[in-house]
Chains A and B, each alone.
Chain A
């Protein structure tokens, strides 16, 4: 499903060159739930961004479904992300000016779907995360856990095959964190979604199929 080959990511300024990722090769199967752990600044989020085509590696190759996605133009890359990938961010990144329903509909706006179809899919996604009764609320009216559930609904509304979660429980207390983790596990088992999750929480990571550890940009496990 996802194949990374000798990925290297360097950040260069006039004076310093920082290695964010060094020679990462990774294969993730369809339907696998993989967690990525490591200390802060070890390159976890950079790796996730590269898998999600939000960032480009300095060297190496990213393949998803056997497609090499190196030099795809912006428009094609955007369409690919829209169809294949859903994102969940630590700080939710909901659009505060839009109500819950519109936030969840967001990925569907960039597809050729009708307003009715968008509404139906968004409602289904909200039902899966248990927030059907909050569709008219604005993000500022929700708790942290509810915001993250909206973010999950947004990520799954377009039924992408891959879900990339960057510390989805990082900003939540343990009860809410567990709630979110359970939703992700259910999605993985019932929808067969491929999930890559960056986390600091060992307990959460242990619930996933496989754990990858990074240290100073290199894979250590």
Chain B
């Protein structure tokens, strides 16, 4: 039976080449977009170099100050003082990595402009994150405190500034007219991990902004490493207690809120205006709506094509019914045919996705990014194909099954 359906499906596809092309193009193009988005999502959200301890880490990216009288709010990263004074004094985390958002500076190498993104960190940064040192070592607490002009640079920066695979520990790198001695070289991190990515890591004491400034908001975020994943809730509740004790600095902005979040929530929180909402639900809802809209277009297109194909195949429908196919059997046949078509589109989509992801990985568009079609993404793709096939087949199949045999056989 299935073999027969398969033969018919292929024959129909061959007969209507243009419609087949339109259908397959719609399905494969949409699936490609979904798979590429899913691969990006997977890459961003799952633990990877050097943030390998994500299952026992919490992230503080935002501190919000609210003005309840005027319904106003200020939200952004915290100051170094806030992180160092309130967060680092917490008892439950094993370690606290503090780092600034990255800032761009320019330098010139052999008359060529080189953009360097700098990030200022504390010493525990190097303990919480498992950077691979290709050469040298991280800067120490003592070096930070003494304000030594020292830096850890990425492999890409080394290659561009000093030359490919050149030894550079102990040598100087100049940016913004300041010379820094290179303490170490680490394997580069892609920009898709913005909390961690930089071309050059420097002690926070070298920042032009005064790290002793007692403002609440600033340019720093923190990663809180727990002894094990069971202690994350303890850290969360201790942090809430800490936040309650932070004194307001402005007489109008009296309410201060901040959360120690999972990696994803630490980003989605920026979409939320409420202090108690992580924004994850908003982002997931938005993503689902976008994906559904993306899928809706080829589904409606395929549905339309299928309905027009019903008239063309009414003789076959009539004959099948006359010889013993029930309406249900015919509906199932039509849905299976559609699923075959969409799976075909799915395979083409997978090939396209593979080519696009390879192109992204090999291009200089996002350096050091490695996107892959893994099993989770593949599973999403197959489910999407089946939903496509099912949705675009059900309505036409229902219309077809209602067709009277006598009328179906009249159409020649």
Pick from A91, A97, A98, A109: contact of B1, CB under 8 Å:
A109
A107 near B324: Cβ-Cβ < 8 Å: yes
Is A82 at the interface (CB under 8 A from chain B)?
yes
Is B283 at the interface (CB under 8 A from chain A)?
no
Query: When chains A and B are docked, how far (Å) is the Cα of A105 from the Cα of B7?
Result: 13
Is B383 at the interface (CB under 8 A from chain A)?
no
Is A8 at the interface (CB under 8 A from chain B)?
no
A97 near B7: Cβ-Cβ < 8 Å: yes
A154 near B323: Cβ-Cβ < 8 Å: yes
**Shortest Cβ gap from A152 to chain B (Å):** 13
From A23-31, A47-55, A196-204, A210-218, give the one contacting chain B.
A47-55
Query: When chains A and B are docked, how far (Å) is the Cα of A106 from the Cα of B8?
Result: 12
Chain A 117-149 interface residues, beta-carbon cutoff 8 Å to B: none
Residues of the B chain whose Cβ atoms lie less than 8 Å from the Cβ of A87:
319, 322-323
Is B405 at the interface (CB under 8 A from chain A)?
yes
B406 near A79: Cβ-Cβ < 8 Å: no
Residues of the B chain whose Cβ atoms lie less than 8 Å from the Cβ of A97:
7-8, 11-12, 15, 316
**Shortest Cβ gap from B403 to chain A (Å):** 12
Is B272 at the interface (CB under 8 A from chain A)?
no
B324 near A110: Cβ-Cβ < 8 Å: yes
Residues of the B chain whose Cβ atoms lie less than 8 Å from the Cβ of A10:
none
Residues 319-358 of B, flagged 1 when their CB comes within 8 A of A and 0 if not, give 1111111111100000000000000000000000000000
Is B318 at the interface (CB under 8 A from chain A)?
yes
Chain B 1-29 interface residues, beta-carbon cutoff 8 Å to A: 1, 3-4, 7-8, 11-12, 15
Is B386 at the interface (CB under 8 A from chain A)?
no
B4 near A75: Cβ-Cβ < 8 Å: no
Is A3 at the interface (CB under 8 A from chain B)?
no
A54 near B325: Cβ-Cβ < 8 Å: no
B325 near A102: Cβ-Cβ < 8 Å: no
Query: When chains A and B are docked, how far (Å) is the Cα of A98 from the Cα of B15?
Result: 12
Is A68 at the interface (CB under 8 A from chain B)?
no
Query: When chains A and B are docked, how far (Å) is the Cα of A86 from the Cα of B324?
Result: 10
Query: When chains A and B are docked, how far (Å) is the Cα of A98 from the Cα of B1?
Result: 13
Pick from B3, B319, B328: contact of A75, CB under 8 Å:
B328
Pick from A79, A81, A111: contact of B322, CB under 8 Å:
A81
B406 near A55: Cβ-Cβ < 8 Å: yes
Query: When chains A and B are docked, how far (Å) is the Cα of A93 from the Cα of B316?
Result: 7
B326 near A78: Cβ-Cβ < 8 Å: yes
Residues of the A chain whose Cβ atoms lie less than 8 Å from the Cβ of B325:
78, 109-110
Residues 185-210 of A, flagged 1 when their CB comes within 8 A of B and 0 if not, give 00000000000000000000000000
Is A89 at the interface (CB under 8 A from chain B)?
yes
Is B412 at the interface (CB under 8 A from chain A)?
yes
Residues of the B chain whose Cβ atoms lie less than 8 Å from the Cβ of A52:
322
Query: When chains A and B are docked, how far (Å) is the Cα of A93 from the Cα of B320?
Result: 10
Interface size counted on chain A using CB atoms at 8 A? 30
B320 near A106: Cβ-Cβ < 8 Å: yes
A98 near B322: Cβ-Cβ < 8 Å: no
Query: When chains A and B are docked, how far (Å) is the Cα of A106 from the Cα of B322?
Result: 10
B324 near A82: Cβ-Cβ < 8 Å: yes
Residues of the A chain whose Cβ atoms lie less than 8 Å from the Cβ of B323:
81-82, 86-87, 106-107, 110, 154, 158
Query: When chains A and B are docked, how far (Å) is the Cα of A31 from the Cα of B259?
Result: 87
Chain A residue nearest to B333 in the complex (CB): A109
Contacts A49-B406, A89-B409, A91-B412 given: A109-B322 contact, CB under 8 Å?
no
**Shortest Cβ gap from A57 to chain B (Å):** 12
Contacts A49-B406, A97-B12, A110-B329 given: A78-B321 contact, CB under 8 Å?
yes
**Shortest Cβ gap from A170 to chain B (Å):** 13
Is B315 at the interface (CB under 8 A from chain A)?
yes
Query: When chains A and B are docked, how far (Å) is the Cα of A75 from the Cα of B326?
Result: 5
Query: When chains A and B are docked, how far (Å) is the Cα of A81 from the Cα of B324?
Result: 6
Contacts A54-B406, A81-B324 given: A93-B8 contact, CB under 8 Å?
no
Query: When chains A and B are docked, how far (Å) is the Cα of A81 from the Cα of B326?
Result: 10
**Shortest Cβ gap from B333 to chain A (Å):** 10
Most buried by A among B1, B7, B323: B323
A93 near B15: Cβ-Cβ < 8 Å: no
Residues of the B chain whose Cβ atoms lie less than 8 Å from the Cβ of A49:
405-406
B324 near A79: Cβ-Cβ < 8 Å: yes
Residues 37-59 of A, flagged 1 when their CB comes within 8 A of B and 0 if not, give 00000000000010010110000
A93 near B12: Cβ-Cβ < 8 Å: no
Residues of the B chain whose Cβ atoms lie less than 8 Å from the Cβ of A105:
4
Query: When chains A and B are docked, how far (Å) is the Cα of A98 from the Cα of B405?
Result: 20
Residues of the A chain whose Cβ atoms lie less than 8 Å from the Cβ of B11:
97-98
Contacts A93-B409, A98-B7, A102-B4 given: A74-B326 contact, CB under 8 Å?
yes
Pick from A75, A79, A93, A94: contact of B318, CB under 8 Å:
A93
Ordered by A's residue number, 11 sampled pairs between the chains whose C-beta atoms are within 8 Å are A49-B406, A54-B409, A79-B324, A82-B323, A82-B324, A83-B324, A95-B8, A97-B8, A97-B11, A106-B323, A107-B324
Task: In the A-B complex, list the 4 residue pairs whose CB atoms are closest, starting with the nearest.
Answer: A82-B324, A97-B11, A110-B324, A78-B326
Q: A93-B315, A109-B325 given. 17 additional CB < 8 A pairs?
A: A54-B321, A54-B405, A54-B406, A74-B328, A78-B329, A81-B322, A87-B322, A93-B409, A95-B319, A97-B8, A97-B12, A97-B15, A98-B7, A106-B320, A110-B323, A110-B329, A111-B324
